[in-house]
Amino acid sequence: MHKPLLLTFVIVFASIAAIGSAQVPAASDPLSIGGKDAEWFAGQGGRVDTDSEPQAPFKIMGNVYYVGANNISSILVTTPQGHILLDTGTKKMTSVIFPNIVKLGFKPADIKIIMISHAHYDHMETLETIRRITGATVAALEAEVPSLVSGKDLSQNETWGHEPVQVGRILRSGDDVTLGGTTIKVIWTGGHTPGTASYVIPAQEGGRTYQIVFGGPPGPITGNPRYDTRPEDAFTSYKMLRTLNPDIVIGGHPLNAFKGKLDALVANTRPSPLALAPGQWVKMIDDSEAGYKKRLSAVAAATR
């Protein structure tokens, strides 16, 4: 029988605190794929979760690490005064994120701040549980707070709700979140949800500073009766993103971006296999915006 989620988290967390960061937890975790965990997902509209499979952690650059699953991102930013965790993932990722943090030589107990990209279950289903266990402060954009505190998805996602989250800091676009000498810039990129955020993370390595963006194009929604992105929100987001010049971009679902590169990423190969080519960021934004405009036109034509 699988242990309840909270008890499992407490056991994992207590073990990590006791053994320190030098030892890797056993591979056999009670929330591995199969059993009740798979049944739980299968009961949600027939959805089978393959995005939360274990993924080897690696250094992205400097003090920024990937600790997420194979196709759902979670980013750890480490500092001498504690760590920042960006996105906590699904229920099944309880057997991924904490062990990955330990494998890298860090302690989940040192997480001080948790931030999310947006309030869809796959990126924050375990947010409140992790907050309780670590005592970290949850920081989120103001437009996403109603969804977080209510436990309800207020956008278009096919969701069954989440545990209401205790938000300790309300963010606004342009805010800085600083811990231990690292400052993350918060940028509202509404579209996919009302309060979707992108985060600009500086990372020092090899005598230079790299700009890492966690997030990216807003992924606006069209023609959905439950949630239809306001075009002005999407176009504002595109405009804001064009002011950036990132060296590396990590999206919420990175399977394709990591394809064929994982061995080199785990080996800490430099230059990073994730480094953007000249003009690649601008093209990414342009292609996304062009696709959105095309969908808007199609919706408008269908309603004439």
Amino acid 85: pLDDT: 98
Are 184 and 190 contacting, i.e. CB atoms less than 8 angstroms apart?
Answer: no
Looking at domain 5-13+57-302, which of 3.20.20.70, 3.60.15.10, 3.10.290.10, 3.30.830.10 is its CATH number? 3.60.15.10
The letter for the amino acid at 149 is V
Structure tokens at 32: 């591995």
pLDDT at 28: 34
Beta partners for 213?
Answer: 200, 249
Tokens, residue 123: 């990126």
As a three-state string, the secondary structure of 9-25 is: HHHHHHHHHHHCCCCCC
* pTM recorded for the entire structure: 0.84
Domain ranges of the chain: 5-13+57-302
Contact 258, 265 (CB under 8 A): yes
**CA pair distance 9, 64, nearest whole angstrom:** 24
Task: State residue 19's pLDDT score.
Answer: 33
Contact of 149 with 167, CB cutoff 8 Å: yes
Give the count of beta carbons closer than 10 Å to the beta carbon of residue 43: 10
**Token representation of residue 234:** 């999407």
- Do the strands 111-115 and 182-188 form a parallel or antiparallel pair, or are they unpaired? unpaired
CA count, 13 A, side-chain hemisphere, 241: 33
Report how far residue 111's alpha carbon sits from residue 76's, in angstroms, rounded to the nearest whole number: 9
* Tokens, residue 214: 């966690």
Phi, psi (deg, nearest 5) at residue 202: -80, 140
User: What gap in Å lies between CA 237 and CA 258, rounded to an integer?
Assistant: 25
Average pLDDT for consecutive 10-residue bins of the chain (304 residues)?
Answer: 43 40 34 43 57 96 98 98 96 91 96 95 91 96 94 72 92 97 96 93 97 94 85 95 97 96 98 98 97 93 83
User: Hey, which bits of the chain come out as E strands?
Assistant: 58-61, 64-66, 75-79, 82-86, 111-115, 137-141, 169-171, 176-179, 182-188, 197-205, 208-214, 248-250
The whole-angstrom separation of Cα 162 and Cα 122 is: 10
Of the candidates 256, 2, 106, which has an alpha carbon nearest to the alpha carbon of residue 98?
106
Residue 210, helix vs strand vs coil: strand
How far is the C-alpha of 251 from the C-alpha of 178, rounded, in Å? Answer: 22
